[in-house]
Amino acid sequence: MASLLDEHMRALMVKDRPYKCELCQMRFTQSSSLNRHKKIHTEEHRRALLEKVRPYQCHICFMRFTQKSSLGRHGKIHTEEHIQSLINKVRPYQCDICDKRFTQKSSLGTHKRIHTGERPFQCTVCLKSFTQKCALNLHEKIHTAVMQSPQRHTFGGSMSISFDAAYQNSRKVVTLAEARIAERR
């Protein structure tokens, strides 16, 4: 049985992602990453998202997260190195296609999806896909807004629900958010 480091290095060398989630088709370089990812498809995770349960909190800025790994990733923004790079406007990671520069390697990876067309985050309701998880999260609010807070109209004493009106209202929010994400690119 190969060690996790061997497994990771092999995947990086051949640039493949052999482990695929059967539910959303996302691919991973390590089986452990796939197993961690699978948790997002559980009822417990969906309930936590709907109830906004975020048990992991940053002790510096008090931002909360659903996963411990997200908190760990977030913690890097509070490091002296990161703060100095922002002050000095150091952007060591450069796109080899358009030369745009970034302070974080992960931001460069996200940016490259513009050029590759990769859209790894897919809505499980309507199958629309996105380059960033935050865009998917905003998009999914369309579906929850339609299902949870539809506008109600009374016709002849009976109550009916206008899902189209709720969709249009929530769509405006997502369009604005998508525009802001595009501005950052």
3-state DSSP helix/strand/coil % of the chain, to nearest 5: 55, 15, 30
34-71 confidence digits (pLDDT tens):
888 888 888 877 777 777 778 889 998 998 887 788 88
125 vs 161: CA distance, rounded Å = 20
CB-based contact 178:119 (threshold 8 Å): no
SS3 58: coil
6-32 confidence digits (pLDDT tens):
666 555 544 577 888 888 888 888 888
pTM above 0.85, yes or no: no
132 vs 68: CA distance, rounded Å = 20
Name the least confident of 49-53, 110-114, 148-152, 154-158. Answer: 154-158
The per-residue pLDDT for 91 is 85
Count other Cβ atoms within 10 Å, centred on residue 110: 19
Rg, C-alpha atoms of the chain: 20
The tokens describing 131, both together, are 């380059």
The tokens describing 134, both together, are 């935050």
C-alpha of 54 from chain center: 15
SS3 117: coil
The per-residue pLDDT for 43 is 80
Q: Are strands 158-162 and 151-155 parallel, antiparallel or unpaired?
A: antiparallel
The per-residue pLDDT for 83 is 80
The per-residue pLDDT for 158 is 37
DSSP, res 29: S
Between 5 and 98, where is the model more confident? 98
Q: How many residues does the chain have?
A: 185
